[in-house]
Amino acid sequence: MAKLAAMVAVYALMIAVSAGCASLSARYPLARPSLTGTMIPNPIGLLIPIVLFGFIAGFQHTVGDTPYYRDWWASFIAAGKPKATGFGGGNTLMPYILSFAGKFNELFYNGGVRQGQIFILVLSLLYLIPALLILWIYAGDFGNACYFFMATGTYFAAMNGLRQYAATGILLLGTHFFLHPKLWKGFLGFLPFVLLAYTLHSSALIMIPLFFAVRLREFSWWTVLMVIGSVGCVLLSSAILPGFLNALEGTDYQVYSENGWFTGSVGDTGLAQGGASALRALVSMAVLILVWLHRSTFRRMGLTGRILINCQVVQLSINIISTFNWIFQRLNIYLYIFQVLLLCFLFRELVRKYGRNSIWNIGGKVCFAVYAYLTVGGNVTSYHNVWLPWTLTL
């Protein structure tokens, strides 16, 4: 409990500093308005939050699969190239990232625990800088965006699965084209970012069909079809699973059909895995209901509002399927930032209608803080930072 309280205090300080930077820099905004019509704050105020978020995420060394990346770094030092990995073009861009990190590694190396730490930092920043930049440009209220960045669990989850989050960072650099009102101009502009992200993680290719899917009319027949289809996948999983595993054969993901990931018994000596918490699906559904009740606000946003709503529909569907096996939850990594933006606009409307001190605003934000603890609390309690000795002793 002592560590949890200390880390909550650190995160609260990060949100407060980010909000303060946003407030001060808003006095000297850029000429370009955000999606909400408010002026974009001066980007100088973005630098301090990047440093804070980057320090906490980039110098941790115990969360999730981070130790694997230190092993990956060790193999690169020993062999001069990264060890083989699956999931598509993972070895295409990674050698350049490793070489870049190697130039600065000695600045941070102090034996053992800090081995390869700069590599972890670089991967973290590849996601955090684009993510915070997109929130800065589009959210309107950067302090609010930083809160939901944490309260949805997005920031904490980004300390696990570093390579896929780095691929997501590349995709986020193409957000302008992802939200572009002209279909083919937007697609041709977004496609290079997808292909570059593929060189880090092949699952990034899912953004190609999603680019078109999220442009369909919101709250229409396809919304119902997506939700019912995902529920059907879970209910009929035993019938669908053999065909799904056969489809994985010959791909980079066939390892999941070979190691008993889907077919073994959870808790045995294999790699069998259980499902993600149904709470994720329930929260996604609750957000969609609130958005539907205030749909006129999002329809005034035009195509951008439609895309954000449909991204939430896709996220809900993936959350439902993930109750069968949590690995599917990783597909939502590409959509988390769009959920944060959706929540920023939703709560802006709630404040406008009911007031900043209303139960809708305060109660909703408290609920999301509880949600973050219940879903990614393990990332907080297992957190160790190489420059903060007290995180090792609490």
**Residue closest to 166 by CA, chosen among 131, 114, 211:** 131
> pLDDT by residue (tens digit) across 67-95?
888 877 777 777 766 665 555 555 678 77
Helix, strand, coil % in the chain, rounded to nearest 5: 70, 0, 25
Matching residue, tokens 């899917």: 213
Hey, which bits of the chain come out as E strands?
none
DSSP helix/strand/coil, 388:
strand
C-alpha–C-alpha distance, residues 151 and 225, integer Å: 29
Q: Find the helix packing angle between 142-151 and 359-381, rounded to 10°.
A: 50
d(CA 271, CA 125): 30
Confidence of residue 112 (pLDDT cuts 50, 70, 90): very low
Query: Is 60 exceeded by the pLDDT of residue 271?
Result: no
CA-based nearest residue to 234, from 275, 196, 205: 275
Q: Which of 18, 15, 16, 40 lies closest to 28, judged by CA?
A: 40
Other C-beta atoms within 10 Å of 342: how many?
A: 24
* Higher-pLDDT residue of 53, 25: 53
Which pLDDT belongs to residue 345? 94
Cα–Cα distance between 82 and 304 in angstroms, integer? 40
Q: In this predicted model, what pLDDT tens digit does every residue of 126-175 receive, in sequence order?
A: 999 999 999 988 988 888 898 999 889 899 889 888 999 999 999 999 99
Q: How far apart are CA 280 and CA 371, in angstroms?
A: 8
132 is written with which tokens?
């915070």
Helix axes 44-58, 2-25, angle to 10 degrees: 160
Q: Is the pLDDT of residue 303 over 90?
A: yes
Tell me what the pLDDT averaged over the chain comes to.
83
Burial track 173-183 (b if 16+ CB lie within 10 A, e otherwise): bbbebbbbeee
Residue pair 136/91 in contact (Cβ under 8 Å)? The answer is no
- CA–CA separation, 247 vs 262, rounded Å? 14
For residue 369, the one-letter residue type is A
What is the Cα–Cα distance from 264 to 256, expressed in whole angstroms? 11
> What residue type is assigned to position 348 of the chain?
R
From residue 112, how far is each of 70, 349, 386 by CA, in Å? 10, 50, 11
Residue 65: the pLDDT is 82
The pTM of the full predicted model, rounded to 2 decimals, is: 0.89
Q: How confident is the model at residue 315 (pLDDT cuts 50, 70, 90)?
A: very high
Residue with tokens 């000795």: 389
- Position 183 scores a pLDDT of 95
d(CA 257, CA 123): 28
Which whole number is the average pLDDT over 256-277? Answer: 61
Q: What is the DSSP letter of 275?
A: P
Q: Are 76 and 82 in contact (CB under 8 A)?
A: yes
Distance CA 143, CA 22 (A): 6
Average pLDDT over residues 378-389: 74
